[in-house]
Structure 1
Amino acid sequence: MARLLIITEYEERHIYDVISGIKDYVLEKNVPDPTICTISKGYVASIGMKGLVEWCREWKVDCVLGSFSRNEDTDLLADSGIIAVNWNSMLMDTGLPSIRTDHTTYGRICVKHFSSYRHFAFYSHTNDPRIHSIIQGFQKVLEDKPSATFDHFIFDPEADFRSELMVLKAWLRNIPKPVLILAGSDMFGNNLIEYCKVLNIDVPGKAAILGIGNSRMICDMKLTSLSSIDMNMYKVGWRIAEMMDICLKNRNFKGYDIINRPGRVIERMSTATVPSANQDVVEAARFIHLHFHQKISVDDVVQATSISRRLLEKHFAAECGMGIYQYIMKLRLDEFTEKVMHTKEPIKSIAISLGDDDSKNLSRMFREKYGCSPSSWREANTLDD
């Protein structure tokens, strides 16, 4: 890959993660004379596909990443020897390699990660093209959980705002609680946090809210920070660079679709609890979620509640299916696993960041769960496999 053009707006949520993945591939693989440049969607719309081709010729662009529609003559790019990848995952018949996401997986991710919940819901807007797939995914996975409930609310931004908002508020009041609500985006998730605040619905005690995208700027915008599903866009960027590199080395190679598999739940305050009617258990879980990466003990958790250690441990085990210490270690192992699998941070540094001076304890737990050491897992699952 020599000169890559990305058609984007800088405010797009995932573009920085994508570019980071591309840059790391280029640097790690020692790609000669790489350049990454950008151009706005508005400018491309004004010059058209012919103008884009001319622009690429003038600036000696080899590869283009952009969101192309069916009515655009993308053959002009190929005819000019320019490799193009379609960023618009909802349009699969443009004849270009595309970035695809299986949106039905969101339901599985939510139900698996928040398995202690019985009530689930989904909230989005009518202009979200993934709605049907996400709802279908929830319904499918909950077939194996007959005691669970699922509901959804799809807000119509074109309708009368006040009337739609009144219906939304009624929906929030009436859905069974405690509930895990998946929002169609991080911004929608932040909106839900505000709506719940107005309605005196405790977040996360009564309504735990999860976004999609893990835009750190948006997720940390509220005092109640938003948990979110990470889209693995760094890895998408890596794969884009890898494929374009292959195409440049072999001009007969036409590329392939890049399958994006979201899956990491990044927990923040909006899900920092467990679904329970026992307020002491809720407070204990909230304290653990906020402090599990520090050196906390069971006594520290007890001090965050109003009952004795014996009673708290009894109630906590009954509600959560495990003891307080086991719950702390579960959260630490989950975080340790995510960082091992999705970052290049040294394993010892990850353990230290989770309040463990010795990585051997978490590494042992990782081995027991996955059948191999963290370092062995990384060797077998490198990004360039």
Structure 2
Amino acid sequence: MTSARQSPTGDDRIRHIDVFLGAAPLLEVRLVEGLLEFGRSHPNWRFSLRSAEFRYTPAWFGRHPLDGVLILIDGTHVLRALKAAGKPCVRLVPAVPGLNDTVAVDDEAIGRLGADFLLGRGFLKCAFCGVGTPWSAKRHAGFLQRMREAGLEAAFVDIPFDPGHSWTLGPAAERKLGRWVEACEPGTAVMAAHDALANRLVDVCQQKGIRLPQDMAVLGVGNHALLCELSPVPISSIDASVPQVARRGAEMLEGLLAGREPVATCLVPPAGVLERRSTAITVYGDNVVARVIAYIHREIQTLGGIDDVLRAFPISRRTLDRRFVKYVGHTPAEEIRLARLRLARERVETTTQRLSAIAHACGYADLSHMDSAFKKAFARTPRAMRRGCESEK
């Protein structure tokens, strides 16, 4: 993690940073990726990993240099000791109201992205499978919000499951999940709260002879290669930007060490969806509508408008509009608008690309047209949306 390069802040003092882990192994692997990235540009930072069992004592503080701490556990004892010693810390945990020294994934945005992805693939029967935690509830809330905005409802179930301590469901939870899966209508697309649950969902479907993705599609969260790529049916998954959470947390701690207090919790938006076989199907009662939906999402960066769609498909605009409204609830022109807006929002929130370049790449005439679209849809400009998390560091 060391380098010959100078720290970007110009502060080359050696910084000794403790990192408390112990919550969920796969999550921690992604967090360490972010710390590695930060460490390459900050060669003067030295990270030491601590387990949840580690205890600070006054004698320890007297013998060891420590500048700050990053925490990924429910570390009440750690926080108490650090406060007494006057050491700054940043929590990398689910957001807690009223606590500014926290960087977390944006769970509601993850839920909204999951719904957008499934709706964009043509799934009209959708469900959310949670794990009964506050962060899972936020993902469900974002998912349900998007579904209702599209005029749809979504089935829901909570399956108690802690992948940090066990990779299997208990017998009662396994039976509950099995009954729920059997009760879902054929063609249902399920967003699971995280990849571990999505992996179990795939196993349950295979045990019951439910085909993936023909009878049920599955979307996870976390994009963990072990769980997604080695699954019997590779699982599509949302990249929750966990490495970026670690990097932002280290940046927040850097600010604390320089005397800058954070003004709010920093919520990091998801980076996107990596599609694999578990959702690789578009389900509509109309094959032409399904093909047009897929075409719009595939070609959105170069699509000029509805006329381009009509040139690609031998069908009249009136007929296509009527069939779209029947199966989707809006016209193909509206689908183009929504697809363009989703792509632009994803790039605004997850890249540093110039806004004018994003506007051009997403098919807007210029930045002012993208500004107008964002104001109408989100009540703020792309510039304000991009500044949102940055201003909280």
* TM-score of Structure 1 vs Structure 2, range by shorter chain: 0.5 to 0.7
| C-alpha contact 2:127 2:155 (8 A) present in aligned 1 | yes
Secondary structure, in 3 states, of the residue corresponding to 1:54? Answer: helix
2:19 — aligned with what? Answer: 6
Answer yes or no: is 1:189 the counterpart of 2:193: no
Q: Once the 2 structures are TM-superposed, how far is the Cα of residue 49 of structure 1 from its aligned partner?
A: 2.6
Shift in alpha-carbon separation, 1:213–1:153, aligned structure 2, 3 A: same
Query: Partners in 1 of 2:235 and 2:299 — Cα distance?
Result: 15
List per-residue Cα deviations over 1:310-353 (Å, max 9, x = no partner).
4667534542345557645643442232112221134577578x
Q: Once the 2 structures are TM-superposed, how far is the Cα of residue 39 of structure 1 from its aligned partner?
A: 1.4
| C-alpha contact 1:120 1:151 (8 A) present in aligned 2 | no
Q: Once the 2 structures are TM-superposed, how far is the Cα of residue 234 of structure 1 from its aligned partner?
A: 1.8
Amino acid of the structure 2 residue aligned with 1:64? V
Shift in alpha-carbon separation, 1:267–1:309, aligned structure 2, 3 A: farther
| C-alpha contact 1:178 1:208 (8 A) present in aligned 2 | yes
Residue 15 of structure 1: which of 27, 31, 35 is its match? 31
1:338 — aligned with what? Answer: 346
Answer yes or no: is 1:150 the counterpart of 2:159: no
Query: Partners in 1 of 2:123 and 2:174 — Cα distance?
Result: 26
Query: Partners in 2 of 1:382 and 1:138 — Cα distance?
Result: 21
Query: Partners in 2 of 1:362 and 1:206 — Cα distance?
Result: 42
When the two chains are superposed, the root-mean-square deviation of aligned CA atoms in Å is 5.0
| C-alpha contact 2:222 2:237 (8 A) present in aligned 1 | no
1:368 — aligned with what? Answer: 372
Answer yes or no: is 1:39 the counterpart of 2:49: yes
Secondary structure, in 3 states, of the residue corresponding to 2:349? Answer: helix
Amino acid of the structure 2 residue aligned with 1:320? V
Query: Partners in 2 of 1:184 and 1:336 — Cα distance?
Result: 25
Residue 284 of structure 2: which of 276, 293, 313 is its match? 276
Residue 60 of structure 2: which of 46, 50, 54 is its match? 54
1:247 — aligned with what? Answer: 256
Residue 383 of structure 1: which of 367, 373, 390 is its match? 390
| C-alpha contact 1:340 1:374 (8 A) present in aligned 2 | no
Shift in alpha-carbon separation, 1:55–1:153, aligned structure 2, 3 A: same
Secondary structure, in 3 states, of the residue corresponding to 1:49? Answer: coil
- Mapping of 1:191-340 within 5 angstroms? 191-193=200-202, 195-196=204-205, 199-203=209-213, 206-215=215-224, 219=228, 224-228=234-238, 230-231=240-241, 234=244, 237-238=247-248, 240-250=249-259, 258-260=265-267, 262=269, 266=273, 268-269=275-276, 270-271=278-279, 276-286=284-294, 288-289=296-297, 292=300, 298=309, 302=313, 308-310=314-316, 315-316=323-324, 318-322=326-330, 324=332, 327-328=335-336, 330-340=338-348
1:65 — aligned with what? Answer: 70
Residue 185 of structure 2: which of 176, 182, 190 is its match? 176
2:88 — aligned with what? Answer: 83
Secondary structure, in 3 states, of the residue corresponding to 1:172? Answer: helix
| C-alpha contact 2:131 2:160 (8 A) present in aligned 1 | yes
| C-alpha contact 2:110 2:238 (8 A) present in aligned 1 | no
Query: Partners in 2 of 1:195 and 1:103 — Cα distance?
Result: 26
| C-alpha contact 2:93 2:103 (8 A) present in aligned 1 | yes
1:305 — aligned with what? Answer: none
List per-residue Cα deviations over 1:283-328 (Å, max 9, x = no partner).
54345545656779637965xxxxx544667534542345557645
Secondary structure, in 3 states, of the residue corresponding to 2:221? Answer: strand
2:4 — aligned with what? Answer: none
Query: Partners in 2 of 1:90 and 1:99 — Cα distance?
Result: 7
- Give structure 1 stretches of 5+ with no counterpart: 303-307
| C-alpha contact 2:191 2:219 (8 A) present in aligned 1 | yes
> TM-score, normalising length from structure 1?
0.66
Q: Once the 2 structures are TM-superposed, how far is the Cα of residue 369 of structure 1 from its aligned partner?
A: 0.6
> TM-score, normalising length from structure 2?
0.65
Shift in alpha-carbon separation, 1:20–1:257, aligned structure 2, 3 A: farther
Q: Once the 2 structures are TM-superposed, how far is the Cα of residue 172 of structure 1 from its aligned partner?
A: 1.7
Query: Partners in 1 of 2:183 and 2:195 — Cα distance?
Result: 23
